A and B are shown apart, each in its own frame.
Chain A
Amino acid sequence: MSTLPRANQRPELSAFDDGTLAEALRKMHLIRKFEEAAEDCYMRGLIHGTMHLSIGQEASAVGSAIPLAKSDYVLSTHRGHGHCIAKGASPDRMFAEFFGKETGYCNGRGGSMHIADVEGGNLGANGIVGGGLPIAVGVGMSIKAQKLDRVCMVYFGDGANNEGAFHESLNMASIWKLPVVFVCENNNYGMSTSVARSTAVANIADRALAYSMPGDTIDGNDLPLVAATARIAVERARRGEGPSLIECKTYRIRGHSKSDRNLYRTKEEIEAWKAKCPIRRLEGELLNHDRLGSARLAEIEADAAREIAAAIEFAKSSAEPDLAGLTRYVYAE
């Protein structure tokens, strides 16, 4: 990643080279198309259960993962498809998991809410709000004890910041100076409850003060800004200086899950945020500054669409788990 200043470009943008930004854009498209396709498969009865879509939040997932290496860890949430793709997982095995197939990342046992790509450093989505936070503390301890050159990034929502687990985890990470980056994706709602109604502070990152760590509240739909902020926190963690808290302000365009009737917010609010699409915003900035041309942008999007279509075919044609394996994986051999 070159950090050469470029004429007329804000430092967050010039900090990242064309290849990095093209790759970030590709991943954002993959996430968006993955989720749109998942929604479509659900409507057509190909996927059961429910799903939590992160459409509109792609920049926080992808931007925060830019400074991570493959060997670094992430812990994700119920709204985790973005984190998973950002960390490098392949959509075909993700879709296979969504379809409950043996070829899925979790052999069809976990589904959307539990996708983990352990080899790729993704230690799992989580069905429990805040469930990943204390685990991140342990991962940080393990990194430190084994003197590994790694960091752990843990994602959670605004709703999760009111679980005891959040407070216990930030405190422990701080007293033990662990290499953990806490990334709060504040989409302003925990299901139907707005941050204003659920949380005593205006900015969740203000809570960092109580745990003596840096806290930053940023525009989570601004990919270069997210990436630049995450880079500072990741480098600090790598230097052994301890944890940071980053709050990415963003918005989920879709309902909380498939059963949400959006009774707690207005159409106008949703429309206003649709206009702040992080993907189109990055594309616009790249075009304006002549970083990537329109043909290249179109090609990136078309490639992502093809990859998703192929991933669905892979999932459809994969085998279901065998009934004989019902109690497999309960205990390690």
Chain B
Amino acid sequence: MPNDVAGADPAAREITYAEAIREALATAMADDPRVILMGEDVGVYGGAFGVSGDLVHRFGVERVIDTPISELGIAGAAVGAAITGMRPVLEIQFSDFITLAMEQIVNQAAKIHFMFGGKANVPMVVRLPGGSGTGAAAQHSQSLEAWFAHVPGLKVVQPSTPHDAKGLLLSAIDDPNPVLIFEHKLLYKTRGIVPTEAFRVPIGKAAVRREGGDATIVATGVMVSRALAAAERLAAEGISTEVIDLRSLRPIDLETIAASVRKTSRLMVVYEGVKTMGIGAEISAMIAESDAFDYLDAPIVRLGAADVPLPYSPKLERAAVPQEEDIFRAAASLVRTGGA
């Protein structure tokens, strides 16, 4: 059983991933006057993906702030506000544009607490709509989360359900450190059960979404639902897979993965970022360095994006990132022939 889906909560209802994020923002803003939302077109436009919606009408332009198109500037403004008593939440319109704000995120936000010997901290949240599948081409479709998981001082999470989108955002706002949340454009309209109350999903804890005995599939972001769909088809063929939703890249929950590998003896990692030098490499190495390595019966399999910028052509775009069919085939081959 997934470990924190609201089962018995009578106040839970089905809402979209975008609505769940908005609900978390509204809750945090209502509870804490230090919380502000800033970004391009988060005001009356309601956010490029409709996430902030009517928040500007509920909390006013002083707290839901439309900024100029100045990513480096607004990231730095969030750092400055955070170190002096505010709780800024920054929306970067497409996660790709975080590249313009790298300096403030990586050199400043991530390091201030350390460099100052703990004398200041940076409680800011950066929301980043990422991922491919919308025909937005090479500069609007990337999955850059692994870059940031490489930086000590940052926390990086990737919710795959409306429930986790709300719970992780509330945890991120509470957190005394900079937290980057990689949301997925294809998930905004997906629906799921979400409690009305202000619950938290802990940062650093993976979720077992499906239990199984033949292989472990660790998936992130939009790959979780694809892995679950593949697992359903695999089950029909007599292959039982355990699907883990990683949820948090930094800190990473190695224990949940290792425990699963000890049980299933086979591991596959599925993620949307480029396969090379990515999340799969890190998880594979962590398992190889741990006692779980002794339990492996087959080489570890990584499924990630091809070594190519995301193409515009729908046919090429689809082929560039793992699809349900790819996961199904790779997992079947891993179990039947050891991945050969």
Chain A interfacial positions (CB closer than 8 Å to B)? 48-50, 97, 100-101, 106, 108-114, 126-131, 159-160, 162-164, 190-193, 197-199, 259-261, 263-264, 320-321, 323, 325-327, 330
Contact = CB atoms under 8 A, between A and B. Distances in A.
B315 A320 contact: yes
B69 A49 contact: no
Interface stretch (B136-144, B252-260, B282-290): B136-144
Given A50-B134, A113-B140, A327-B306, 14 more contacts: A108-B313, A108-B316, A110-B137, A110-B138, A111-B137, A130-B69, A164-B73, A191-B40, A197-B66, A198-B69, A199-B68, A264-B44, A323-B316, A326-B311
Nearest to A192: B45
Given A128-B97, A320-B315, A263 B45 contact: yes
B41 interface: yes
Nearest to B140: A127
Contacts of A108: 311-313, 316
B77 interface: no
B315 A321 contact: yes
A62 B308 CA distance: 35
B314 interface: yes
Contacts of B309: 109, 330
Contact of A129 (B44, B67, B69, B308): B69
Given A100-B312, A197-B66, A321-B315, A48 B135 contact: yes
Interface residues of B, number: 37
Contacts of A49: 134-137, 312
19 contacts: A48-B135, A49-B135, A109-B138, A110-B137, A113-B137, A114-B137, A127-B136, A128-B96, A129-B69, A190-B68, A191-B40, A192-B43, A193-B41, A198-B68, A325-B316, A326-B306, A326-B308, A326-B311, A326-B319
Contacts of B307: 327, 330
A-B pairs, 8 with minimum CB distance: A49-B135, A111-B312, A127-B139, A100-B313, A192-B45, A162-B68, A108-B313, A48-B135
Interface in B283-338: 306-309, 311-316, 319-320
B84 interface: no
Q: Is the interface of B mostly helix, strand, loop or mixed?
A: loop
Nearest to A110: B312
A193 B40 CA distance: 8
Contacts of B138: 109-110, 114, 127
Contacts of B46: 263
A48 B315 CA distance: 11
B224 to A, nearest CB: 24
Contact of A109 (B71, B306, B313): B313
B12 interface: no
Contacts of B45: 191-192, 260-261, 263-264
Contacts of B306: 326-327
A162 B69 contact: yes
Contacts of B72: 164
B48 interface: yes
A254 to B, nearest CB: 15
Nearest to A162: B68
A190 B40 CA distance: 9
A232 to B, nearest CB: 29
Contacts of B312: 49, 97, 100, 106, 108-114
A26 B41 CA distance: 36
A162 B71 CA distance: 10
Most interface-central of B70, B97, B134 (chain A CB within 10 A): B70
Nearest to B69: A159
A97 B43 CA distance: 34
